[in-house]
Structure 1
Amino acid sequence: MDFDMRAFAADLCRFASTAGEEAAAADFVEETLDDLGFETYAWGADADLLADHPSFPDDLDETDVAGRRSVGGVLELGGADAAGTGRGDPDGDGTPAVVLNGHIDVVPAEPAEWSSDPFEPVWGEASEGIDGNADGDALTARGAADMKSGVAACVGAALDVRAAAEGGGLDLAPGGLRVVVEAVAGEEDGGYGAATAALANPYPFERDAAIVAEPTELRPVVATEGSLMARLELTGRSAHAATRWRGEDVLPRFEAIRGAFAELETERGESVTHPLYGEFPVPWPVVCGTVEAGSWASTVPAALTAEFRIGVAPGETVDEVEAAFRERLDEVAAEDPWLRERPPTFERFSVQFEPAEVAVDEPIVEAARAGLVDAGLPNPEPTGATYGADSRHYVAAGIPTVLLGPGTVTEAHYPDETIAWDEVEKGRAAIAAAVGRFAARYSGASAK
């Protein structure tokens, strides 16, 4: 079966694979990988396993993980397996394995904000500002940049590595090479598929390194930010608007807390430093994403709920950052007689993202940088990202992981989400070359 990367990416974008609805997209990827000669594996999210994971709520049950299906495809290249004499070493000794990972879930789309159906892919002319490329085709659909085109690039790269190995153009270790392509569920809300795979290896071999093809503009990302998700609740006292002095309005109190959190964001931007985050104007952002207050226009608002997303720097923990914001909240409450008697609550909700970082001299990072050069692309310095990614789960499991993929994060979650197709082709070439460089390290030969 020939692989049409354009058609695969477009077809994958037709699936409205929002949270809990990934199974059909996973089936499509699995069938494609089967047809292309991969040995496939599939797994669901494990509620019991993830309930003990710091990223997830501790009350997960089977209804929370229903439909969160992930798949992986393995190519066994060279070594005993290629000769048909066995499945190789299940412990991974002598046969390096590199994972090419992408997620198939997408965030919801608001059709009214789009110029076309978000789940009916549209091919058009690439415009200025999309990956810095104004020439050639571009794909517009929910998930085009984040990150179904990245999944397509991973499949194409794995096939290119296989062709190079079969053609004798790839230096392999005596035991050969395993290339794994993963399409995982639930990255947008914590990493259900990747966390399960990291904690309960679905393959009969160990994994030596991973590349996650998030939209990094083909720049190696070696550090990802964590985030604390916390819900603030305030209690006041209602009163008729005509006698508002009889009530206790929660809104000024909320503004005081929000202002204090903004001040702490500024302080942390100056005191919590990291060499890879100097380029960001706000390295550890604090955003109040939702606010709900009051019950009637003519009544003093007596209750408020607000949800915050708070950045966590590499090297910090979610617990440490939560403690810092709790302390600042307590300081605000201590200055207000009403809040002293009725302290605000500030509790975690949803999922938490721990930060992650891998050394720039890790073999997979060096291979990624060399692969960019081999593909005729620029070789920028590794950087950090102010978002979280599934890479953190693999890093926590002892699998060195770098982010490297086509597209830009500025298109992620955006109306008319678009990626320049030339960027996807470049991503495929760079990832394939990176795998080749990684394999050469194990072969004992000089990398080509």
Structure 2
Amino acid sequence: MTRFATYDDELREFTATLLAFETTDGRERPAQEWLLDRLASFGFDTYEWTADAERLADLHEFPDDPDAIPVADRPSVAGVAEFGDPDAGPTVVLNGHVDVVPADEELWETDPFDPVWGETDDGAATLTARGAADMKAGTAMGVFAGRALADAAEDLSLNGRVVVESVVGEEEGGIGAAAAAVDNPYPFERDAAIVTEPTELTPVTATEGSLMKRLHLDGRSAHAARRWNGESVLPHFERIRRAFETLEAERAERVSHPRYGQFSNPWPVNVGTVRAGSWASSVPATLDAEVRIGVAPGETLEGVEAEFEAALADVVDDDEWLSAHPPRFERFSVQFSPSEIDPDEPVVTALRAAMAEAGCPNTEPIGETYGADSRHYIAAGIPTVVFGPGDIDEAHFPNETIVWEEVLTAGEVVTDTVRRLLS
């Protein structure tokens, strides 16, 4: 048995250094170069790959235009450790992403890229920085779980491999992970994976999909002093928004899944942006809105899309103006397919056994309303569970913070999970 906590000091320094890299908007390369060097220094065999935009454009989740998929100068990296007869045991991937969402510094109490150590009210150590929870602490933890196994190899009877990955572009649909899934960068097959996203130390075996749609409405402009001569798009948009809200509530009742009982609204619909009009003294004649629609595991993007298009068509049919000036409702950006695996997969049962050994209370697998890179590996036939330290409620938030003890506990659990699989 390995003792992950013996790496505490090194892991703290490693994680803080990784957090200091501003890996937003395609700026991952410096962090990845540093990480690749560290992987080599730990004794891993190292790998590097860059996604092929044309290959990703062939996937139904990504835009059809390769130029719309930013892949240039964005390497993903990995380290591999082999044990015993590596072909006689499984290969287990520990996957994390290095990219983070931008931080609005005006809303932060500290510099988002200057990691700050602190304490909770009861004295537990915390680490605050952009990416602390989502998910550089999880990525670093995966690296040290692989290292802990490699360092203890002489005392363990293992066959197989562990792969520790740091991929790019997860926040943009999973650019690095999708590339690794469809074009295996390794000279061996992969048998299981753990994505170390923040799950509050709970196994996640199902992730929700999301459909990204852009709505465009046309009205008729007029001077505000004679606004009755125009046709404002705003009342039309409000009717459509209410129709989508009604369908959202109906779907929450009708579409069920055994892993989502904790959510009263498991398949949320969010109107994220609305842009209407051009001048305060003119009737708003155009409107563009961007909508994210939740898709349950077991559903398809196309099936849910048809439901919302039908709801829009009903509103249009009941309105003389919209019937004469039909809205456009089109996909944009990256789509996320829903994904799930059987909780009886060996990677899940080994994880749950390791969790029980470590005293983790929430060993029952659940589903989550977000998407993750796990879906790419599952689509490639690699059973993948999501498990890691931190709270998703901290993700993308100002003053993003993780409780350090969760990182150490997750590291112990992940290390023990891989040990069980390779034993």
- TM-score computed with the length of structure 2 as normaliser: 0.96
Report the counterpart of residue 3 of structure 2 in structure 1: none
- Spell out structure 1 runs of 4+ moving beyond 4 A: none
Is 1:103–2:97 an aligned residue pair?
yes
C-alpha displacement at 1:248, in angstroms? 0.4
Cα shift at 1:281 = 1.6
Amino acid at match of 1:107: V
Q: Pick from 175, 178, 185: which aligns with 1:192? A: 175
Q: Work out whether 1:5 is the aligned partner of 2:11.
A: yes
Q: How far, CA to CA, are the matches of 1:244 and 1:225 in structure 2? A: 43
How far apart, in 2, do the equivalents of 1:380 and 1:11 lie? 32
Counterpart in 2 of 1:24? Answer: 30
In structure 2, the gaps of 5 or more residues are 1-6
User: What is the Cα deviation at residue 62 of structure 1?
Assistant: 8.5
Q: CA deviation at 1:160?
A: 1.7
Q: State yes or no: 1:115 paired with 2:109.
A: yes
The equivalences for 1:71-110 within 5 A come to 71-79=77-85, 93-110=87-104
TM-aligned CA deviation for residue 77 of structure 1: 1.4
Partner Cα separation in structure 1 for residue 137 and residue 73 of structure 2: 22
Residue segments in structure 1 that go unaligned for 5+ positions in a row? 80-87, 128-133, 441-448
Q: Who is 2:72 aligned against?
A: 66
1:263-278 equivalences in 2 (<5 Å): 263-278=246-261
Match of 2:408 in 1: 425
1:138 corresponds to which of 121, 126, 131:
126
**In 1: Cα distance, 2:141 partner to 2:71 partner:** 27
* Per-residue CA distance 1:359-383 (angstroms, 9 max, x = gap): 0000000011011122232242100
Measured after TM superposition, the shift of residue 323 of structure 1 is 0.8
1:274-285, aligned counterparts within 5 Å?
274-285=257-268
Q: Is the 8 A contact 1:138 1:418 kept in 2?
A: yes
User: What is the match of residue 213 of structure 2?
Assistant: 230
CA 1:275 to 1:62, structure 2 compared with 1: closer, same or farther past 3 Å? Answer: closer
> C-alpha separation between the residues in 1 aligned to 2:269 and 2:353?
36
Task: Name the Cα RMSD after superposition.
Answer: 1.3
- 1:158 equivalenced with 2:146 (yes/no): yes
Residue number in structure 2 paired with 1:210: 193
Q: Alignment partner of 2:314: what SS?
A: helix
Aligned partners of 1:232 and 1:347 also within 8 Å: yes
Query: Helix, strand or coil for the counterpart of 1:64?
Result: coil
Deviation at 1:252, TM superposition (A): 0.5
- Which amino acid is 2:102 matched to? P
What is the alpha-carbon distance in structure 1 between the residues aligned to residue 332 and residue 28 of structure 2? 23
8 Å contact kept, 1:375–1:433: no
Mapped to 2, the partners of 1:188 and 1:126 lie a distance apart of 29
State the distance in 2 between where 1:21 and 1:317 align: 33
Alpha-carbon distance in structure 2 between the residues aligned to 1:379 and 1:164: 28
1:78-101 C-alpha deviation (Å, 9 max, x unpaired):
22xxxxxxxx6xxxx423100000
Give the drift of 1:145: 0.3
The whole-number CA distance in structure 2 between the counterparts of 1:341 and 1:393 is: 42
Deviations 1:226-262 (A, max 9, x none): 0000000000000111111100000000000000000
Aligned mates of 2:235, 2:317 — CA distance in 1? 15
Q: 3-state SS of the aligned residue for 1:65?
A: coil
* Alignment equivalent of 2:373, drawn from 352, 372, 390: 390
Cα contact 1:122–1:141 (8 A) shared by 2:
yes
Paired position in structure 2 for 1:85: none
8 Å CA contact 2:133, 2:391 repeated in 1: yes
CA distance in 2, matches of 1:24, 1:60: 24
Matched, 1:54 2:60: yes
Of 224, 238, 249, which aligns to 2:232?
Answer: 249
Which residue of 36, 45, 49 maps to 2:51? Answer: 45
Moved more, 157-166 or 187-196: 157-166
Deviations 1:113-143, CA, capped at 9 Å, x for gaps: 000110111111135xxxxxx4321110000
Map 1:321-336 to 2 at 5 A.
321-336=304-319
How many angstroms apart in 1 are the aligned matches of 2:284 and 2:342?
Answer: 50
What TM-score do the two structures reach when normalised by structure 1? 0.91
**Is contact 2:92–2:190 with CA below 8 Å preserved after alignment?**
yes
CA shift for structure 1 position 317: 0.9
CA–CA separation in structure 2 for the residues paired with 1:360 and 1:19: 35
Size of the aligned set, in residue pairs, is: 416
Does the 8 A contact of 2:341 with 2:378 survive in 1? yes
Match of 1:444 in 2: none
Contact 2:356 2:363 in 1 (8 A): no
Range with bigger deviation, 290-299 or 368-377: 368-377
Task: Give the CA deviation at 1:63.
Answer: 7.2
Offset of residue 420 of structure 1: 0.7
Counterpart of 1:36 (choices 14, 22, 42) is: 42
8 Å Cα contact 1:369-1:379 kept in structure 2: no
- Aligned counterpart, 2:350: 367
Q: What is residue 302 of structure 1 aligned with on the other side?
A: 285
Q: 1:165: how far off? A: 2.5
Q: Read off the aligned partner of 1:113 and give its amino acid letter.
A: L
Is 1:438 equivalent to 2:401 in the alignment?
Answer: no
For the pair 1:356 / 2:350, whether they are aligned, the reply is no
Report if aligned partners of 2:214, 2:330 keep a CA contact under 8 Å in 1. yes
Q: Residue 308 of structure 1 aligns to a residue in which SS?
A: strand
